[in-house]
Structure 1
Amino acid sequence: MRELLRDRVYIRYWLAVVTSFLGDGIAKVTVIFVAADLTDSPALFIAAIVIAQLLPSGVLGTFIGPLVDRMSPRVLLVGADLARVVIVLAMIFAVDSAWLLVVLIFLEGLGKAVFETARMAAIPKVVGKHSIPVAIALFQSTVQALNLAGPLLGGFLILVAGVKLAFVVNAVTFVVSALLLGSIAVLKEATVTAAGPGQYWSSLRTGVTGVLSIGSLRLVAWAMVPVMLAIGLFTTNVNTQLLAGFDLPAFEFGLAQAMLGGGAIVGAFLGPALVRRLSLTGLLAGAVALFAVSLLVLWPIDDRWPGSGLALVCAWCALVGLGMSLVQVPVANILLRDLPEDLRGRGIALLNAVMINFSIVGVLLGGVVANAIGAAASIVLTGVVLLPPALVLLSRSRTEKKNLAPAADTEAGVPR
């Protein structure tokens, strides 16, 4: 990690991503704040805003892939930032219309979808293949921190400067990101897989078939369906559990949320060491199992609360954050390891779309399930559902080890 932090190109790239992600967080919290005051159904509009920002990555994400493979990453990244400058400045003139803000946050989410796909596909260009695990870990820990810092900064700006100035600062973050990315020469070259606008649909089809022909990527796509459903369900119900189930006051609720983020940051930093010691499939199996167990242990914790004190709840939150974060480590490494360069953009876009769509489904299901059986029971049930995919992944990991062992023996000259 020290080598990356001494790399001036990587530092510019990292700072650009930090400021761009801060902009996303400020935009979402500011729009939520404004829309909640404009309507009689704030919960409905808050849900609409959250889904509107995620929806482009899910519904349209697959269609972004061919563009990432055919165009310069620098053009896409800078273009996505500058487009969001215009969008968030337009929000200043839409502060009296909740539905117009929903449309604009959807467009901002579309810019984020282009930016995120191009950003991830460009990682090998910036750091080289040998530093991919460390770069992924640093990005994941940064993103987890920004998930806390972005909304906090947005709330602070609204408090001290007002909504309109918050949108102006939001636009500035995207300008800074665009300037930093525009100065990185290594992002100039594109991976050209087809020429001419008429070949877009052919490029899209060959991308989908090419990605699905790779066994490890099929396994990731299959495994992440229940995992992303679980993350969506948990995201919907954890706040209900903390506020209603555990009846935490404001400060303790904030502390519990911070422990979720802290556990995620620890998981991201543990990632590179685990990648060096374990197979990626084995690490994915272990991470899914840990996430499942972290949800299952809510059952005894819920029964013993409040007698066990706040420490038990904070420990539970940290464990869940650790499990969710570790799941992302092998997934990102498998994508960047096994995707051929000419399929990288389309593969990342396709698998991101699968994961985000199922996380949205999980968010929508979370409220329904919680209303039927309660928040705590729904979280525990989610853990039960995750156990079968964890076992299948573990079995696949063992099979891979058995297949690799004879090959290793043969290469070493050991008779089989």
Structure 2
Amino acid sequence: MGCWLRPEGPQARKVVEQEACEGLVNAMPSSLAQQVRRYPYKDMPGLLEVLECQLAVHSKGLKLGIYQDVGNRTCAGYPGSYGHYDIDAQTFAEWEVDLLKFDGCNFINLDILVEGYKNMSKALIKTGRNITFSCEWPLYLWPFHTPNYTDIREHCNQWRNSGDVFDSWQSVTGIIDWTVNHQHVIVPFAGPGAWNDPDMLVIGNFGLSPDQQVSQMIIWAMMAAPLLMSNDLRYIDPKAKALLQNKNIIAINQDPLGKQGYRIASVNNFDVWERPLSGDRYAFAVTNRYDLGGRAEQDDTIASPRCDDGVAGAHVTVRACSAVREVVDSLQSLYLEDHRGPEEEGLEDVSPLWEDLAQQITRLEEKIREVAKCAGAKQPCGLASAAPRRK
């Protein structure tokens, strides 16, 4: 475009305008055109492209996000927001940004890290614009101590707890395992306006098989996770597109009660998830984590005669139930496939393992019956009651 910010010293914030940019600048709404002619904060190449992107994104009914850091440098070494929280927040508001992802690299110490997140939260609120504040606050504290989730919930709309997701099944299951291992700490604080963020959906790329993509979509929905896509929509395949647009899964994710789901049972490779829904309903997900190939058949006791049809993948079944931990007498057959990788289409016959699988399923059924005895309890089994929701 030929328009950029040219630093003329450590604190320089001068905009260089060229004739090639004037037509686009003059066509902008006055509030945006002023941004190109004033003294914004960042020495950021391509300012005009940012503003042009904002116009294009909002014209399509989409939201615009931007990245910054609580420290004096971002993770990639660009200038951070440390010491400039107010002016950065105001600039983002004037650019009509809808989401700020605020990383935590290059912080001076833990106290300054925490204060930085609080100060940016206050600065964003002060602008008067509704900007979703996506924090990495707890991610940087866990190596040292358990984060204060009361504080985090008060200042952030969503927060990352664990490491980045990559386009592989091992990465996805690693995040799921971390969440399960810490669910007693993090689940009670999730609710409307404040969400645990397990990172983005890698659906539509190349590292997950179609069945693995179904698993990520469903478990992310059960965890009430923000559904942020990491893919190139120009090249996404039809199956992945249909999965990302699946209304049944999205309805579970977006349920207005806003409670996060949690794992209630695990026997060997089988996991059972539960999520409370509005209207005294529950969603259940059963996953088979076996990755050697083959199909397992089991009878399951978590389905209810009052359940609506859910969303079934080859190895995952989800049901949104009006029953509250209801144990039904009639059992329903459930087929759960393994999680073969995208390159493992021709695997050897593993039917000799099925007898062992049948024993695992029997133990799983017994575990589910134990959990179901919590019927009528006022809070999820083994989990503390949720903290008051952020207004």
Q: TM-score, normalization: structure 1? A: 0.26
Q: Which has the larger radius of gyration?
A: 2
Structure holding more helix per residue: 1
Structure holding more strand per residue: 2
Higher relative contact order (CA 8 A, sep 6+): 1
Q: TM-score, normalization: structure 2? A: 0.27
